[in-house]
Structure 1
Amino acid sequence: MRTQYILRAATAVIGFALGTATLSANADQLADVQKAGVITLATDMHYQPFDFVKDNQHVGFDKELWIEIGKEMKVTPKFLDLPWTTTLPGLQAKRFDMVNSPVVVTKERMTKYHFTLPFADATVALLKRANETGITKPEDFAGKRVASQRGTSQQAQLEAYAKTLNPPAKVSAYLNLTEAYADLANGRIDGAVDSITLLESVAQTRPDTFAVVQPSFGPKAYFAYLARKGPDSDSLVAAVNDAIRKIEQDGRMEALQVKWFGAKQDVPTGDFEPNL
């Protein structure tokens, strides 16, 4: 996967040397992707059930959905496994075509990036140890140690919520949530924060170890994929959205949601104003 990035970078250098500016003001990402027959995507493969590694293979909802999107667009998706904190800067640096890690749609991000249609619930919630009887609601995390993933909207929401508790919760941030879940299971922290879709998957996979704290404490939010903001990406995002609509209409989306999330997810099917 990293070889793909090296090849793309080398191609860009050669193109510049020959005077064929592939990323000019009039560039069209969709045309470039279709010509190459490949769409290169950045993902964090530590985000079950969306993207994770099982038996040394990348699996999850995102991979299977992008295979279907690729069929509709007649291109092959190529996945780069990158830490979340590098994906948005890498997108701006044009190191790949889009981010296929699920990204929470926020008002601020919409000013910087071009989002696709949403495909999953991203409302933020809390995870606890299954045998922890002293925590039954979000307010019970007052004074306790709670973790999130670094550089995410979930981290920002946790930090804001922690300050409303008396005493405030003690917040820490991890590079990936796999490490946070391990520390939660071992008692090093008291809770972990992420979107409800992910936490429910974790709890269903390990019901003797984890439980989701109800209700969710954050406002309603949604996951989507994103591209660079600008006219060169308009046609690419439009093509991805057309593919998503077709996948929704013929039932493939619901099948993937049931397979990976346990139930169909109700998400906006058009433009919407994010709560965050």
Structure 2
Amino acid sequence: MTFSTTLKSALFGLSTIALTATGAMADDLADIKSAGKIVAATEMHYAPFDMLDQGEYVGFDRDLFDEIAKELGVKPVYEDLPWTSILPGLEVKKFDFVLAPVTMTSERAKRYSFTLPIADATVAFVQRKGGEMTKPADAKGMTVGVQKGTAQEKQLETYSDKIGGITIKGYGTTDEAYADLMTGRLDAVAGSAPLLNYLAKTRPDDFAVVNPPFGTPTYFGYVARKGEGDSLVAAVNDAIKKIEADGRMKTLQEKWFGAATDLPETMPEL
């Protein structure tokens, strides 16, 4: 074999490897379309977004994503996981998509591909009915619960520094925090405004929201893997726009939040 022949063979081999690598680049949307299903993970203890009703998964996210899956032409498959394992699980490809409402932050946007906003996520306080708080700043010196590992926890820490000190207690789920609030172990719980408004609406004798919200205006979105999930997010965004345009989003907001809310039509600055 001549040097020329050897060089040609080597170059051909490198070209083949490059083409194979390019062809093998992951495209989550293509894989989902091929499988005919999309596996989406959430924590089913986050009313009114995600709940279990006698073992059946219900909530705003379920209804909205059923509609999104129809637009994508695939079957949705839902997994119930603890919140703290959901984003790491996405990264190691245990499922295709994060259906849990994820607060949109600049830090998360560096690691994940966000959809358009699907709901408001501004942070507020909820207390027991008849509680002492009349405004958010009254939380100074109080013990406040919040779900661990959330953007709401970070905003609560920032607000605590701003007003001069809150004793913060982290919980695995919001349900655990609400239970401690009812027993008097907490003075309040911090969470997204739509979540707390739903809680007060469904249990008016137990809970009352402290207005106005104290956090920076933020939004919830769904999440896919960055890069290989970008085409999936683009398709989901197209579906969201269609659902908003034909009135389905408004219907779902009124059903689960009690009122319709205008959402940004483009990605907000993070």
Shared fold per TM-score greater than 0.5? yes
Checking the alignment, whether the CA contact within 8 Å between 2:125 and 2:188 is kept in structure 1 is yes
Large movers: runs of 4+ above 3 Å: 21-25
**Contact 2:117 2:267 (C-alpha < 8 Å) held by counterparts:** no
Contact in 2 for aligned 1:119/1:265 (Cα 8 Å): no
Q: CA deviation at 1:235?
A: 1.3
Q: Is the 8 A contact 1:137 1:213 kept in 2?
A: yes
Q: Which of 217, 227, 230 matches 1:234?
A: 230
- Cα 1:97–1:190 change in 2 (3 A) is same
Q: For residues 177-256 of structure 1, what are the structure 2 equivalents within 5 Å?
A: 177-230=174-227, 232-256=228-252
* Residue in structure 2 matched with residue 164 of structure 1 by the alignment: 162
Alignment match, 1:269: 265
Structure-1 separation of matches of 2:118 and 2:55: 26
Q: CA deviation at 1:164?
A: 2.4
Amino acid at match of 1:260: W
Q: Which residue of 2 aligns with 1:136?
A: 134
- C-alpha distance in 1 between matches for 2:216 and 2:253: 21
Alignment of 1:114-153 (within 5 A): 114-132=113-131, 134-153=132-151
Q: Is the 8 A contact 2:48 2:60 kept in 1?
A: yes
Name the aligned partner's letter for residue 142 of structure 1. K
Provide the secondary structure at the position in 2 that maps to 1:164.
helix
Task: Give the total of aligned pairs.
Answer: 251
2:97 matched to which residue of 1? 98
Q: Which amino acid aligns with 2:265?
A: T
In 2, Cα distance between the equivalents of 1:182 and 1:52?
Answer: 16
Alpha-carbon separation, structure 1, partners of 2:250 and 2:170: 33
Structure-to-structure mapping, 1:17-96, within 5 angstroms:
26-96=25-95
Structure 1, residues 156-176: CA drift from partner, whole Å, max 9, x if none?
11111112234x110010000
1:257 aligns with 2:256: no
Q: Say which SS state the counterpart of residue 258 (structure 1) adopts.
A: helix
Distance of 1:54 and 1:23 partners within structure 2 = 45
Rounded to whole Å, the distance in 2 between the matches of 1:27 and 1:141 is: 48
> Identity of paired residues, percent?
53
How big is each residue's C-alpha offset from its partner over 1:235-256, in whole Å with a ceiling of 9 and x where there is no partner? 1111111111111110000000
Unaligned runs of 5+ in 2: 1-19
Alpha-carbon shift at residue 181 of structure 1 (Å): 0.5
Cα distance in 2 for partners of 1:68, 1:47 equals 20
**SS of structure 2 residue aligned to 1:248:** helix
The letter for the 1-side match of 2:240 is I
CA contact (8 A) 2:104 2:220 kept: yes
CA–CA distance in structure 2, aligned partners of residues 91 and 22 of structure 1: 22
1:127–1:213 contact (8 Å) kept in structure 2: yes
Structure 1 unaligned runs (5+)? 1-20
CA distance in 2 between partners of 1:217 and 1:148 (Å)? 14
Q: How far, CA to CA, are the matches of 2:196 and 2:262 in structure 1?
A: 17
> Please, what is the CA RMSD of the aligned residues?
1.5
Post-superposition shift, 1:73?
A: 0.6
Task: Name the amino acid aligned to 1:145.
Answer: T
Which letter maps to 1:44? E
**Equivalent position amino acid for 2:187 in 1:** D
Change (3 A) 1:179 1:24: farther
